[in-house]
Structure 1
Amino acid sequence: MSLLFILTTVNAEAQDISDKANAFLNSLSNDLREQAHFKLDDAERFNMNYVPMPRKGPTFYQFNEAQKTAALNLLKASLSEEGFEKSSEIMALEKVLRIIENNDDDKMPSGRPRRDPLNYHLTIFGDPAPDQPWGWRFEGHHLSLNFTSADSRIVSSTPTFFGTNPGIVRSTEFKGKEVLKEESYLGFALINSMDDEQLKIAQIADQAPRDVITLTKRKVSHIEPYGISYKEMNEDQQELLTQLVQVYIDNYQKDFAADFADRIVKAGYENLHFAWAGSLSYGFGHYYRIQGPMLLIEFDNTQNDANHVHTVVRDLENDYGEDMLKAHYEEHHK
């Protein structure tokens, strides 16, 4: 049975997410479980990466079919349908890269091809239970999905990294596929709706940075809220910005997405800024970011002739659930 078949058939029944994590752990051999299971406060939990590189934790290549299904059940329960579909499509793009690059000698230390839809890791941090904090991460090339749970709910789903190479597939059986299409389209629609005066404020540089500014940092240091503010936009532009933010929120599991959206509203859409760098046209390097008191979203498309997209969502107050976990411990361990 292929991984892509499993991706479309995993069980999505409503169930406490800790049960799904335990089902995954209990499906593993002792050796694989030792590789996959870390303490909640282990430094590995903050070791975010989105390039093809050696990682801790077992990969799908090491899993049997039951273990793959258990892993993907947990991932599917952690995301929305849209978020899970994007994840599976990003994994499938590894097959495209292997064909395009035509480099069979490019191997990981394990001996597996560097471009491999099975080269994704699932790790658990802490002991999954409804009444105590724990976390989990799904990670590989162009995916870093970090989750924290406390009190029977997901309290953090950030940092969240989705990337695609190619951004738009030009060949192979996947020709025309554009996984992060809405993120790109709405960004261009917003910047190109602006008049000359607005553009002077919104466009902060003629050349886009080569990658997202925050990279893989555990904590995001202060970044000036450059660009045009929500208050300086007309109603149509404000609606475009709202739609763009919602595209990123819609990747998350329903209850967490509602909580996250509510926090953004409480922090004030009027406090959001939209900044653009690089070309205003498709096919050339471009970058945007959306920043508010507790939110940072970055989109970068510069590499491989501007056909290689990186996106990241950071919660400036609660990445890795650190703020929520602090509140949990204060409440339960007075």
Structure 2
Amino acid sequence: MANSASGNAAAGRMSAAARSLLDSLSPAQRAQAWAPFDVEDRREFMYVPGPRPGLGLWEMNADQQGHAMRLLATGLSERGLATAQAIMGLEEILAGIERAAGKGAWQRRDPGYYWFRVLGEPGGMDPWTWKVGGHHLAVHMTVVGDRIAGAPQFFGANPARVPDGHPKAGTRTLPEEEDLARALVADLTPGQWEVAVRPAPVPQDIITRDDPVADVGGIPSGLMYNDMGAGPRDTLARLIRCYLGRVVPDAADAAWAEIEAAGLDRVAFTWAGHTDPGNGHYYAVLGPTFLLEYDNTQNDANHVHTVWRDLRNDWGEDLLAMHYAAHRHRE
């Protein structure tokens, strides 16, 4: 877990930002943005377009939007925040693509269609949570004292590479998640390739979808870390850190420490689909404490879904268990 000093600082920044956002809202807005910690939707997320519980950016004035984005920045790393903002910005690009194609779906695309929600009392003695959700973005942070849990996290991109004809043509969102996995596969020996790579079938989405509890039973078996050479092992570690590194170091470092403690030798990588760019593909990285999934099959393999699930501490469940156990002991 994060050390006390850094944890206190990060948790304090989140508490201050959450309180500032709530204080900037009207009573009616606050009723949308805040709910008790044990509200039913605490352990829910979606990544398709559509409304979420909470207050949408589009319902806020400029000052309130600034408070909302500062809250998001307290939970994400510099790279993670830039990626989240890029994902939001893709909604305008996607709307233009759909409008030009004569599709009506563009009406659901808006960078303001992202909802912010605070559950519980920020900075209090009891656990609290904040979450941000909308199309292709689901950020969840649970704060228990000075400790932070940052999963699950969903980041997606459509288009993953902006097509020709647009001023931002060629711009890629989530490039490292694809490039590192491709580099790992390219560095495998023929025998390792046979274990790790399955040409078909290719899942048409992440297998765990948006289930509150990630069921890893359907994740294909793959090549174990210890059965790789030094190069692929290094790339796999970098790939894992890429996903964890979307969130602030306090949460990312704690998750990485648990992955190492559980044993990198127990981590497996699997790829499904062709390895040539432009073809639909999927991969998963599964260990005792975590799951990463990546899928790029829709819209001519230019539509990416990625998720990080913490199999012990999604929704802060591990931190909450320790908190409640300590509370019972004090009683």
2:117 alignment partner AA: T
Residues 267-306 of structure 1: pairs in structure 2 closer than 5 A: 267-306=262-301
Query: 1:158–1:313: 8 Å Cα contact kept in structure 2?
Result: yes
Local SS of the residue matching 1:25: helix
Residues 107-118 of structure 1: pairs in structure 2 closer than 5 A: 113-118=107-112
Superimposed CA distance per residue, residues 217-240 of structure 1 (whole angstroms, 9 cap, x where no aligned partner): 011124256100001000011011
Identity of aligned residues (%): 38
Distance 2:198 2:32 in 1: 45
1:90 alignment partner AA: I
Superimposed CA distance per residue, residues 166-201 of structure 1 (whole angstroms, 9 cap, x where no aligned partner): 011113222111110011001111112212211111
2:4 corresponding residue in structure 1: none
1:8 corresponding residue in structure 2: none
Cα distance, 1:283–1:105 mapped onto 2, change above 3 Å: closer
2:230 corresponding residue in structure 1: 235
Superimposed CA distance per residue, residues 202-259 of structure 1 (whole angstroms, 9 cap, x where no aligned partner): 0245231000000000111242561000010000110111111111121110211111
Match of 1:122 among 112, 116, 123: 116
Match of 1:169 among 156, 162, 166: 162
Matched, 1:203 2:224: no
Name the structure where helix makes up a greater proportion of residues.
2
- 1:140 positional shift: 0.3
Matched, 1:34 2:27: no
2:31 alignment partner AA: E
Matched, 1:82 2:79: yes
Query: 1:204–1:227: 8 Å Cα contact kept in structure 2?
Result: no
Distance 1:287 1:104 in 2: 27
Give the TM-score taking structure 1 as reference length.
0.91
Match of 1:194 among 188, 194, 215: 188
Task: Count how many residue pairs are aligned between Structure 1 and Structure 2.
Answer: 316
1:180 corresponding residue in structure 2: 174
Cα distance, 1:14–1:41 mapped onto 2, change above 3 Å: closer
2:241 corresponding residue in structure 1: 246
- 1:65 positional shift: 1.2
Distance 2:38 2:198 in 1: 39
2:6 corresponding residue in structure 1: none
Query: Alpha carbon RMSD of aligned pairs, Å?
Result: 1.6
Query: 1:146–1:160: 8 Å Cα contact kept in structure 2?
Result: yes
Give the TM-score taking structure 2 as reference length.
0.92
Distance 1:185 1:26 in 2: 42
1:3 corresponding residue in structure 2: none
Structure 1: runs of 5 or more not aligned: 1-12, 108-112
Distance 2:68 2:203 in 1: 35
1:110 corresponding residue in structure 2: none
Local SS of the residue matching 2:256: helix
Local SS of the residue matching 1:16: helix
- 1:15 positional shift: 4.7
2:151 corresponding residue in structure 1: 158
